[in-house]
Amino acid sequence: MSSHNFELQAKADEWMDVTPKEEVLQAQVDRLKEAFDKCSTQLDSCRLENDLLKGFKTNLENETHQLKESLQDAHLQIENKTKEWEELNGWTSERIKAYQMTIREQEQNKAELEEQKAALMVTADIAAKKAAESEQRYQLLLQKAEAEKQALQQKVATLQADNRKQHDTISRFYRDLEASRSKEQQLQKQLAEAQAQIQKQHAEMQHSKKDTGTIATLAQSLKAEKVALERALTSVKTSLESVKNQEAERTQQLATLREQYQLLHDQSSRKEQELETIVRQQTLQLSDAKEDLKDVQEKLHVVEQECVTLQKENADLTQHMSHMEAGRHDWLEQKADLEESLEETFRDLEGANERLKELEEALEECELQRASLEAHQSTYAQAADREAALQLQMEEQRAAFEERLKEIRAILGMKFTAAIQHGVEHKLRSVEMPVSFRVPLLAQKIV
């Protein structure tokens, strides 16, 4: 039993769990696995840091390249600015000479324009006097036309008042005519009712001929009513004829009034047309005078504008000269700023180079760490090989242990059924036991 590295004790047909060397080896293998996992995680972190450092290195290289390009661009800008400043200086000197010549010419033109302005002022005064005279004549004509217009308006107002009176009388006649017509309709209705009553009474009289006592009285009453109705009918007819005659007279009066109104309206329209023609002629004359005055004023305004433009051009020339001087100072300031920015870019480039060196050193350290991790990985592979060899050795020991177990069972005289029952009980006990007290090889055997 000592040759198989196991210790067994038999007591009252019970089996005791033992602790073999395989578990010790398994614990060592587990520790090696944990160390290998840590090494693999460290290796992954080193790889990530290496990738990050490579990316940072590429970014720094790009920044240095961009700084070099910006430095070259700054040099080119300085050269271009100096060339532009020299060209601008020559151009400004030429423009100053040209502006001086134009100022002399403009002063001469200004004197000529002053003379023209004086002549135009004289002509403008003459035109203003003529316009004032024509304006006075026009005002007199307007006053006359206004007086005639007011007189015609008064006549038209009186005619309109007469027309309104006639219209009122006509409307009153129409109302009387409507009243007479309504009265005639009422009388006709009364006549129709009386005739119907007569017919009814006649029928009653025919019906009551049988009664001899009342025939004479009924005939007399009917005759009296018939006579009264005939008189009323004749009076209605006479009143109707009188109303018709009045209506004819009033329509004739209305026609005469309309003819008079038309004559007065024609006279007023003729007078208004005559006044409008007079006013139109006077307005045409006044508009001609105003146009002449406007032409003179426009010429005077043009001369004044030319004087103002000459003054503005002179002021613009002086202002442009001051701007040119200010621009020269600005160019000098920009040149100084570009030189300062160039120095700053040089300093930034030196700092970037220093950071690049530091990153290269860090990258070398990472590569060394990666090499050490690869060495650890190789040792872990060797440990795995040793673990496989130990596993084979454990399998051999397991087979030998099983053979020895059979021999022990044969020595103890256990039956097959008792061995199976004992194996089941041992399985249950091993399940209920803590994990640290179990023997893996025996558990696998029972399974």
Work out the pLDDT band at 364, boundaries 50, 70, 90: confident
Instruction: Provide the pLDDT for residue 79.
Output: 76
Decide whether 22-115+325-385 matches 126-313 in CATH topology. yes
DSSP letter at 210 equals G
Query: Which tens digit of pLDDT belongs to each residue from 70-122?
Result: 767 767 777 777 777 777 777 777 777 776 777 777 777 777 777 777 777 77
Convert the pLDDT of each residue in 5-23 to its tens digit. 333 444 444 444 444 566 7
Handedness of CA 194, 200, 203, 208 (dihedral sign): negative
- If you average pLDDT over residues 287-307, what whole number do you get? 73
Domain 22-115+325-385 fold is: Helix Hairpins (1.10.287)
Fold assignment, 126-313 = Helix Hairpins (1.10.287)
d(CA 151, CA 153): 5
pLDDT of residue 311 exceeding 70, the answer is: yes
pTM beyond 0.95: the answer is no
Mean pLDDT of 202-213: 62
The answer to whether the CB of 127 falls within 8 A of the CB of 292 is: yes
Rounded to whole angstroms, the Cα distance separating 199 from 293 reads 99
Mean pLDDT across the stretch 370-388?
A: 73
Write down the pLDDT at residue 426. 61
Mean pLDDT of 195-214: 66
> Does the pLDDT at position 257 exceed 80?
no
- At 136-186, the pLDDT tens digits run 776 777 777 677 767 767 876 777 777 677 677 767 766 776 777 777 777
Q: What is the pLDDT of residue 5?
A: 38
Residue 185, Cα to own-chain centre: how many angstroms? 77
Once rounded to an integer, what is the mean pLDDT over residues 311-316?
74
Q: Which two tokens stand for residue 246?
A: 């009045």
Burial label, 239 (beta-carbon count in 10 A; 0-12, 13-18, 19+):
middle
Instruction: Among 223-232, 301-310, 409-418, name the one with the lowest average pLDDT.
Output: 409-418
Provide the residue ranges of all domains of the chain, joining segments of one domain with +.
2-18+398-446, 22-115+325-385, 126-313
Q: For residues 144 and 150, what is the distance between their CA atoms, to the nearest angstrom?
A: 10
Give how far the C-alpha of residue 159 lies from the chain's centroid of Cα atoms, to the nearest Å.
66
